[in-house]
Amino acid sequence: MRLFLRLLAPLLFASFAGAGLAQEGPQLDLPRTQLAAGMHHLDVQLATTPLQRQIGLMNRKEMPQHEGMLFEFEEAGVQCFWMKNTLLPLTAAFVDDAGVIVNLVDMKPQTTDSHCSAKPVRFVLEMNQGWFAKKGIKAGYQLSGQPFRR
């Protein structure tokens, strides 16, 4: 049995690493879309698969102020995020299907505190911490862009 486990362990690790679970650098090659928050235009990466959402903005050392990441889920639910292996301070905007921000949460880097939506949502937009506050964007604000058109 020990021999079987010794032979199986490298195969399991290789398959997980090949699936991206052992990713060491940031994911920079995701599809992008444009969003607008009033007169402010955003260039956001789209995290639409479970693996892309799991990795999110981990291991990223910097991000331009007009960029972010939009997490899209298959169906609305209470979405909770944490910041394990995430180096940047971020703000998460929990957004409903119509593009309305339900709530905003500031998140501290490299923590495992859970930050959740106030009600079920399908979208979460992560931006550099302070971006929403500097623009005067709060809960109830309407975002626009292709993901919110149904």
Query: Residue 4 carries which DSSP code?
Result: H
In the chain, where the domains are located? 25-148
pLDDT one-digit tens code per residue, 96-131: 999 999 999 999 999 999 999 999 999 999 999 999
Rounded Cα–Cα distance for residues 132 and 32 (Å): 20
Rounded Cα–Cα distance for residues 138 and 148 (Å): 18
Facing residues of 69 across strands?
45, 126
Rounded Cα–Cα distance for residues 24 and 87 (Å): 13
CB atoms within 10 A of CB 32: 13
3-state helix, strand, coil in the chain (%, to 5): 20, 35, 45
Q: Which residues contact 104 (CB under 8 A, 6 or more apart)?
A: 91, 92, 93, 94, 132, 137, 138, 139
pLDDT one-digit tens code per residue, 46-91: 999 999 999 999 999 999 999 999 999 999 999 999 999 999 999 9
The superfamily (CATH) of domain 25-148 is: Protein of unknown function DUF192 (2.60.120.1140)
Taking alpha carbons only, the member of 62, 39, 60, 144 closest to residue 101 is: 144
Q: Whole-prediction pTM value?
A: 0.84
CA-angle at 74, arms to 41 and 22, nearest 5°:
85
Structure tokens at 93: 């905007």
Residue with tokens 């399991």: 12
For the cut 90, the answer to whether the pLDDT of residue 93 exceeds it is yes
